[in-house]
Amino acid sequence: MSAAPVTTAPVSTAPVVLVTGAAGGIGRAVVTAFVEAGYDVAAVDVRRDESLTALGTGSRQVVPYAVDVTDDPAVAALATDVERDFGRLDSLALVAGINQGAAPVEQMVPEDFRRVLDVNLVGPYLLCHHLVPLLRRDGGGTIGAVSSFWARSGHAYFGAYCASKAGLLLYVQSLADELAPDIRVNSVCPGNIDTRMHRDALESEAAERGISVQEMQDIEWGKIPLAAAGAPSVIADALVFLASERASYITGASLDVNGGVVFH
């Protein structure tokens, strides 16, 4: 079930965005960027993270919620809580997602495959299913979903992740067609982003190869035309742009933010 804030927030007069995966590296950057853009934020993660409240400012608030985005009743309760606490919703930022361990198809456990699809694809559906009515109520809004540059093509041993992120791209296009003109729906496709998850992956592969982490980083970042993994803020900036009036004629689009590692 969703965890309501300790004290009920006043009805917001500012635009309100709901951010999933808010406690992660990209999620925190997204919360910060929306606050800086003048939004109040409903910050959703699988565990309630009180430290997210500190990302607010004197005039803009961040309210944390604990919700498993794959849990239908919990997401339904979240929609009720957000309406009660803020009185409105202007944008959804669907950031929550998980990766998978590398596994050939004959060895990947079906439960693991389903879990990746549940979080990365079913979760966004449930959020839209329960929160689109609140977006519609006051005349519309925006939805921005985080996919991946690995949605552009399949990669051996990562079938669940690639399938889930590719499915999310088409789901965004379907929603964009369905919800227009009231609600614009777009996606962002990150490349290598310099988060703790990315650093852990570099360390793990370096250990497996018997080389230093710096050598592993040089190999991976050497594949990127802009020569480095992106900061989480670059994904946040893209989501804020797509939610803004500057993107008022953009819907059904997927914006590549990947340093040039994939041209599409």
Q: Which residues form the catalytic set?
A: 161
Of the candidates 47, 66, 48, 64, the one whose C-alpha atom is nearest the C-alpha of residue 56 is 64
CA dihedral 22, 27, 28, 29 (to 10 degrees): -150
Q: Given the structure tokens 């109040």, which residue do they identify?
A: 40
* Residues near 13 by beta carbon (within 8 Å), at least 6 away in sequence: none
With contact defined as beta carbons under 8 Å apart, do 192 and 229 qualify? yes
Cβ-based neighbour number of residue 11 at 10 Å: 12
Q: What does R_g of the chain's alpha carbons equal in angstroms?
A: 18
Q: Are strands 91-94 and 40-45 parallel, antiparallel or unpaired?
A: unpaired
H helices, E strands: number in the chain: 8, 7
